[in-house]
Amino acid sequence: MKIFYSILVLIALNFSTGLIAQENCTYEYDPSQTSLEWTAFKFTEKTGVKGKFDSIKVTGKQKDKSKFGAVKSIQFQIDSSTVNSGVPDRDGKIKKFFFGSVKGNGKISGSFSDISTGETGTAKLNLRFGNSKTSVPVNFVWKDHVLEVTGTVDVVALGLQSGLSKLNAECNDLHKGSDGLSKLWPTVDVKVVSTIKKVCK
């Protein structure tokens, strides 16, 4: 009986210790573990061209008792001049003819709203560039402490119709597919992957 009682005490102590440790843990957004990848499309057959932005500034609440709370209030600002497709010549044209078609500081600002609860769900990605605003439906999934967000942005809604036309004209031959037609699509897929840091004291 004494042995049985001792086992129960040990189990209770381990359980209570686990609760205390859990209560002292926080989740933090980690910019060094976050990436934003975009995929633009050219040719009639819609061939993808991937890239990223090298400068993303994040503000807002970035620490919480839950991993959901650590990211739901985040706001961000992307410097469009840091666009990086891996081809310097192409990047220069994107900056000049595409993003350069909109007056302003060249920053894309954004936030999330209408976030559903759970390990998978939907939200709205609210973007602003120059004087144009748009809200984009996105999907998200949590894989343990890793958050993945995906969606599709219509650049025309961000005031980039002129920039799209100028870039396509500048790269006319490079955007010709098997049918001989030059095509640059107005939709861009975006993917954000962020590992949320768990800190326990």
The answer, yes or no, to whether residue 160 has pLDDT greater than 90, is yes
- Residue range 165-188, pLDDT digits in tens: 999 999 999 999 999 999 999 999
The pLDDT assigned to 175 comes to 96
The answer, yes or no, to whether residue 31 has pLDDT greater than 90, is no
Q: How far apart are CA 40 and CA 177, in angstroms?
A: 15
Tokens representing 141?
């999934």
The answer, yes or no, to whether residue 114 has pLDDT greater than 60, is yes
Q: How far apart are CA 11 and CA 78, in angstroms?
A: 50
Whether 127 contacts 134, CB under 8 Å: yes
Domains of the chain, each with CATH number or no CATH? 27-200 (2.40.128.110)
Higher pLDDT, 10 or 177: 177
Whether 161 contacts 173, CB under 8 Å: no
pTM of the model: 0.84
The pLDDT assigned to 9 comes to 47
Instruction: Calculate mean pLDDT across residues 104-125.
Output: 94
Query: What 3 state SS string does 42-70 have?
Result: ECCCCEEEEEEECCEEEECCCEECCCCCC
Average pLDDT of the residues of the chain? 90
DSSP 8-state code for residue 73: T
Model confidence at 11, pLDDT cuts 50, 70, 90, reads low
Percent of the chain with pLDDT over 70: 89
Percent of the chain with pLDDT over 90: 75
- Residue range 142-152, pLDDT digits in tens: 999 999 999 99
- Residue 133 has φ and ψ, to the nearest 5°, of -130, 150
Radius of gyration over every alpha carbon of the chain, rounded to an integer in angstroms: 23
The pLDDT assigned to 23 comes to 65
Whether 29 contacts 61, CB under 8 Å: no
For tokens 């400068």, the residue is 55
